[in-house]
Amino acid sequence: MAAHFGQLDPTQRVLMGPGPSDVSLRVLRALAAPTIGHLDPEYLQIMDETRQMLRQVFQTNNEMTMAVSGTGSAGMEACVCNLIEPGDEMIVCVNGVFGGRMKDVAERYGAVVHAIETNWGNVIDPQQIADQLVKFPRTKVVGIVHAETSTGAHQPLDEIAKLVHASGGYLLVDAVTSLGGIDVPIDGLGIDACYSGTQKCLSCPPGLAPVTFSARAVDAIMARKSKVTSWYLDVTMLKNYWGSDRVYHHTAPINMTYALREALQMILEEGLPQRIARHELNHRMLRAGLEALGLNYIPDHSLTTLNAVHVPAGVDDAVVRKRLLNEYNIEIGAGLGPFKGKAWRIGLMGSSSTLQNVTLILSALESILSDLGYSLTPGATLSAARNAVGLSAYAQTV
Tell me the mean pLDDT in the region 178-183: 98
The one-letter amino acid at 79: C
What is the spatial distance between Cα 222 and Cα 243, in angstroms, rounded to a whole number? 15
> In the structure, what pLDDT confidence band is assigned to residue 395 with cuts at 50, 70 and 90?
low
pTM for the structure as a whole: 0.96
Total length of the chain: 398
Closest CA to 83 of 195, 192, 196, 208: 192
Whole-number Cα distances in Å, 311 to 290, 339, 374: 11, 9, 13
What's the confidence (pLDDT) of residue 140?
98
The domain made up of 25-269 is a member of CATH 3.90.1580.10:
no
Q: Please check the confidence at residue 396 and state whether its pLDDT lies above 70.
A: no
Q: What are the extents of the domains in the chain?
A: 25-269, 271-397
Render pLDDT for 318-352 as a digit per residue (tens, 0 to 9): 999 999 999 999 999 999 999 999 999 999 999 99
CATH of domain 271-397: 3.90.1150.10
Q: Please check the confidence at residue 138 and state whether its pLDDT lies above 80.
A: yes
Bin 246: left if φ > 0, else alpha if -120 < ψ < 50, else beta: left
Closest CA to 186 of 215, 149, 208, 224: 215
What spatial distance separates the first Cα and last Cα of the chain, rounded to whole Å?
54
Mean pLDDT (the chain, rounded): 95
What is the spatial distance between Cα 348 and Cα 331, in angstroms, rounded to a whole number? 12
Render pLDDT for 194-231 as a digit per residue (tens, 0 to 9): 999 999 999 999 999 999 999 999 999 999 999 999 99
Contact 36, 251 (CB under 8 A): no
Tell me the mean pLDDT in the region 59-84: 97
The dihedral through the CA atoms of 172, 176, 177, 183 has a sign that is positive
Q: Please check the confidence at residue 398 and state whether its pLDDT lies above 50.
A: no
